[in-house]
Chains A and B, each alone.
Chain A
Amino acid sequence: MSPVAATAPPASRPNPGLLFRARGKLQGLRYLGALMRLTVNWQTIWKYRRQKEQLPPLRLRNGLVLHHGPYDSPLLLLDEAFIKRWYDIEARPPAHAVMLDIGANIGSVSLFWSAQSPTLRIDGYEPNPAAYETLRRNVSSNRLQSRMRTFPEAVGREAGILHLWVDIPTDLSTGYLDHSPQEGGRRIPVPVVSLDEAWRRLNHDPIWLLKIDTEGAEVDILEGASQELLGAVQHAIVETHDNIYPGAFTRCRTILEHAGLTCWARMHPWDEAIIYATRKMGPYARRGLARESAGKDIFGYIKEGDELVEEPFIRLIAEEQLIAYRYEGFWACMDTFKDRQLFDAMNARGETA
């Protein structure tokens, strides 16, 4: 750590309510521009925000809707997930990829990723009851029930109980502080499962994207995970909170690198960071490499037991990835004796030259 960083008081995360005042009018206008590009009901959102009233659901131009409750910070979430795209990576999920969203909050990051592939399957974990209710609402409002499951649980080193701070902004909800992150908080016990249990519920399918944003639990989650699980992770996005759990960044990065993932990080000035980890070879690598060279891979559309012209073709058609070559020339079945006779007759007439 540099001497300057060591002596300066740690910057705190911007208060969502102060977001615009703190960043000045220019940034506010930039945000308004982004809001106009991204949402249908930006006028109402902007008006309510200025009047400091409870905002309406955010209706995105791509058809998604983000519901939120009184303890949520919808504009901050929209900013991080859809404008700054802090939880985005360069890769795009192949068909039927799996995402684990640990600390799903009200689902903004899951919604972002659901829009990147119509076949992405997501398991979301959120222990804060208020955020969880809204998460469920966002899953059903966006018709994601068939491919997103939600679990009202925390994820940690092992199964147990976590005493979670609630009745505060849900994105600050943590079980890893002795004091409330903001005035007015109270603690409630919530169930904890291990990351391996979450993986077991996915039948140990390879995890295309592991996203962790858990306000201090990230070290326990990753250090408690088996090598087998970490080896099945293709990409990870892990928010680390040294301001809650000192050393979290280094410990998380070490685990991910030991598991064979290549990491880079976005360092926030308020002692948090986002680690982006990826592996070249891995459970999805064959597909990933093929996508890089050819752009596409048909094996991503075929599952065990499928009939080629049924399920895989339907998936390809849904993504506008299948074309037909109309041919008016010769094509005939050569299954039976009758087919053979037909061909011999054509041959005798000189039609096969």
Chain B
Amino acid sequence: MHRPPRVEKYLEDDDVFLANYSDGLTDLPLPDYLERFRARDKVGSFLCMRPVHSFHVVSLDQDGDLLDIRDASDTGLKR
């Protein structure tokens, strides 16, 4: 991961910058995001989401026999 340091020289004296590190699409309200970051006097902030992919979580015994299968949303991983 060398990308953020490579852009450092272009930031000059900007006190805050945003970096998109995913191929994601979001309707995140940026002014609110920046305001909350500025209010906290921290070095970094990132966007944190519950995953929305659909998958299942399985429980196995040592031989690989299936004991249980649950939707990921029941495990706390997904809404």
Q: Do A and B bind each other?
A: yes
Residues of A with Cβ closer than 8 Å to B? 286, 289-290, 293-299, 301-302, 304-308, 313, 316, 319-327, 329-335, 343
Query: Closest Cβ of chain A: how far from B11's Cβ, in Å?
Result: 9
Interface presence of B69 (CB below 8 A)? no
Is there an interface contact between B47 and A327, defined as CB atoms closer than 8 Å?
yes
Is there an interface contact between B43 and A325, defined as CB atoms closer than 8 Å?
no
Query: Closest Cβ of chain A: how far from B38's Cβ, in Å?
Result: 9
13 A-B Cβ contacts within 8 A? A293-B15, A298-B44, A299-B8, A301-B43, A301-B44, A305-B1, A306-B1, A313-B44, A319-B43, A322-B43, A325-B47, A334-B23, A343-B25
Is there an interface contact between B13 and A332, defined as CB atoms closer than 8 Å?
no
Question: How many angstroms between the C-alpha atoms of A332 and B49 in the bound complex?
Answer: 9
Q: Which of B8, B27, B48 makes the CB contact (< 8 A) with A325?
A: B48
Is there an interface contact between A332 and B40, defined as CB atoms closer than 8 Å?
no
Is there an interface contact between A296 and B26, defined as CB atoms closer than 8 Å?
no
Per-residue A-contact encoding for B23-46, CB less than 8 Å = 1, 0 else: 111111000010011001111111
Q: Which of B5, B22, B49 makes the CB contact (< 8 A) with A302?
A: B5
Is there an interface contact between A333 and B37, defined as CB atoms closer than 8 Å?
no
What does DSSP make chain B's interface, helix, strand, loop or mixed? loop
Closest B residue by C-beta to A331: B26
Interface presence of B55 (CB below 8 A)? no
Is there an interface contact between B4 and A298, defined as CB atoms closer than 8 Å?
yes
Residues of B with Cβ closer than 8 Å to A? 1-2, 4-5, 8, 13, 15-16, 21-28, 33, 36-37, 40-49, 52-53
Q: Which of A298, A327, A343 makes the CB contact (< 8 A) with B43?
A: A298
Is there an interface contact between B46 and A329, defined as CB atoms closer than 8 Å?
no
Query: Closest Cβ of chain B: how far from A195's Cβ, in Å?
Result: 29
Is there an interface contact between A297 and B23, defined as CB atoms closer than 8 Å?
no
Chain A residues near B46: list those with CB within 8 A: 322, 324-325
Contacts A330-B26, A331-B28 known; A325 to B13 CB distance under 8 Å?
A: no
Is there an interface contact between B28 and A316, defined as CB atoms closer than 8 Å?
no
Chain B residues near A326: list those with CB within 8 A: 48
Chain B residues near A308: list those with CB within 8 A: 1, 4, 21
Closest A residue by C-beta to B41: A295
Is there an interface contact between A329 and B27, defined as CB atoms closer than 8 Å?
yes
Query: Closest Cβ of chain B: how far from A236's Cβ, in Å?
Result: 26
Is there an interface contact between A316 and B47, defined as CB atoms closer than 8 Å?
no
Chain A residues near B43: list those with CB within 8 A: 296-298, 301, 316, 319, 321-322
Is there an interface contact between A331 and B4, defined as CB atoms closer than 8 Å?
no
Is there an interface contact between B45 and A332, defined as CB atoms closer than 8 Å?
no
Question: How many angstroms between the C-alpha atoms of A289 and B12 in the bound complex?
Answer: 10
Closest A residue by C-beta to B26: A331
Closest B residue by C-beta to A324: B48
Is there an interface contact between A294 and B15, defined as CB atoms closer than 8 Å?
yes
Closest A residue by C-beta to B29: A329
Is there an interface contact between A327 and B48, defined as CB atoms closer than 8 Å?
yes
Question: How many angstroms between the C-alpha atoms of A74 and B18 in the bound complex?
Answer: 49
Chain B residues near A333: list those with CB within 8 A: 22-24, 53
Closest B residue by C-beta to A330: B27
Closest B residue by C-beta to A300: B43
- Residue of B21, B25, B47 with most chain A CB atoms under a 10 A cut-off: B25
Question: How many angstroms between the C-alpha atoms of A332 and B33 in the bound complex?
Answer: 18
Closest A residue by C-beta to B22: A333
Chain A residues near B13: list those with CB within 8 A: 289-290, 293
